[in-house]
A and B are shown apart, each in its own frame.
Chain A
């Protein structure tokens, strides 16, 4: 222990004596460790940190799955919850909760807030004891609309009621329903999902609030190994409910539709992390996987960089090492000393990384624009600290061991005689470390370039209309005090004023979310006039979004037959639809769709197929219903610009703010940006790989510069001799540049196969180009070689300017 302490003291002193070296090494490692620590912090928040509930390890989520047991989207409504609870064989208790966005009445109007409808035993099942008041009573979730009560979150209690204890018994108005507060959740409890609900309501209030309640079902299993069996037992129960719902006989559940590929149940653990069984899970895990590979690579590059610094320093200390050997030091003791210094530097880097850990984590999350929850603020808990400690040891030993072994493998007699002087092996190692850094940065940059070219190709896909001239603003008229009766004149005024903004060509309003990507209202295509399903047992689905008048015109989607919707259609609530070409082809091949009916809706027009829901899928058979007035309380304002839509975004934003500062939800965005957002994982991967790749290349270039500068300095005498025997300045420039480029070419030869391997990993995120796209790889190699040439230039110039007389006197 005493020896260890002595090593630490000596190491600290040695590092303190070389503040420049120490600062560079610590900062380089802080960069690499910080990125990994921040990523681990996010991983910790998302999937590792146990939820603040009783026995979180026993909680399992019921997840709808397809035949291959892959999660699929399906609206799990209350009948599923009731059926599983009734069965009672599988779980030791089950709860259901559903995220909703009811309108909270405020002084100004109404505001959407996050809330959860939960089954009656929600709090007792989770073992969550309210900080104030109580949870729900069994009878409060018994009969529909039994009693309007709520448990509010700690944050809501503090923000809305100032944290006063007399909140119990007070009321809030949600969707025009008066709700009594009966409890306050404990601080830190924010439910089981990634959302931050302001309050919890009994599920029996669903009809009262008029919300669509898609359940997450959570059960308790004492033994994890029972999960597969339990899932198999749940599958027939769910299938029975699905069969019943497919008849659409019960009007309470028909609005939920049926998931077309939901035929199995799987159970996923949900007791840890905020991610739960969110639909974003695959995206999040994909993102973490990308970011994980990239940050580990960055750390390895940082380690190689610091290792070469350590090696150079070890060479300078050769004589000291030899003296220590002469004084009786064993090689193990010498290695231990160097490794101890390495661990100290790694500890310094990790401490620095921990200081900015939360900030870097939040920064990293900015890459994840698709994250649906509130901003994550990674906190340093025991797991993070253990990860940090492991990083200190792994990184500290990892980068210093090789230089330590190299530096201590010397003949003491020779070292005592001539002091420094690099051997061939050390030179090989130093060059090897540089090659590793350059190859690593090449891998990252190849990944980034592939993502960039893939995105560019995907964004140039034909949507059926021009996306570059469109901008969208989500409006909330209800929030600023309008109702169904008063909203229409206001909308007309908004459309008129925005249309007058310079550069704007046409404007329309429509409830449809362009590129929303979620077909949550898939309907069984029953009631299609004159259509008989091709097979007796097949179920055909249609997609029936609501759109506003003028939307097709603004988007530039040609109306092939019939007419567009009119304002009068909206006012009168006519039962009419416009179908697209695919719908007409699928259900009425060779016939005129105009005048045909889908259920009670009459077809008044046919439009050209266009990608409205996803840019990367062909248009489905779609029947567009005319919007109702209620849907226009939260419409999207569609703006067609005369030129590039980016040119009008700022002025449209300003005009809307002049109408009402709170009118726009989020921001005014171009459709191209919205599409980019749907490529979120690719975009995040591109930004992360790009940023880390550039960072890695900078580190590698600095390393190359260092090696070349060292080479010039240690070969000064040789350069003097070369000059004396007739070498020109150009010869010397070539000598140094060719040495640097030789390293670059070796790195390219080693890095390209690795980059091709990385492309195989990335292939699922790459579309429109081959994962082995030669343009991307060649462009990166050229870029890396150019960076290395730049890094070698200064040492090369220095070599070319050496005075031969001075060089010949150089020792």
Chain B
């Protein structure tokens, strides 16, 4: 995919291709049923993540998970959870179109994010995720590597967040 990218040597900002996203709410004691339906053992602690091939699961609240999968698998996952619902009450909401993902990679990735993200980014473990704010827009920040992040933004906030990142990238490139 020819994703629009803004970059200089130290950091690259890309708009990533769409994925299937779900918001799962389930009692932590029923987590095993959800793990089985999704085919990935869901993390139990807020901020932790679990990944396997194109599946990803991130714990973002005491009973709330963000699930990622390939776009083509969306219907199958919804069907799998429908079967679980008979015995285990939960809520699975498809939020694929609610958000866009921005990829931020490069040695200056954390520095770029710190322009508008108040978190101490060094404390987010690789593979972890956190819901937080980016200049007043609510985002989910996923850390894929020491200097690789994904930022999930609601589409209505996207022009603002992406615009800010572009401006900040140019500032970093100029050494401001």
Task: Tell me if chain B binds chain A.
Answer: no
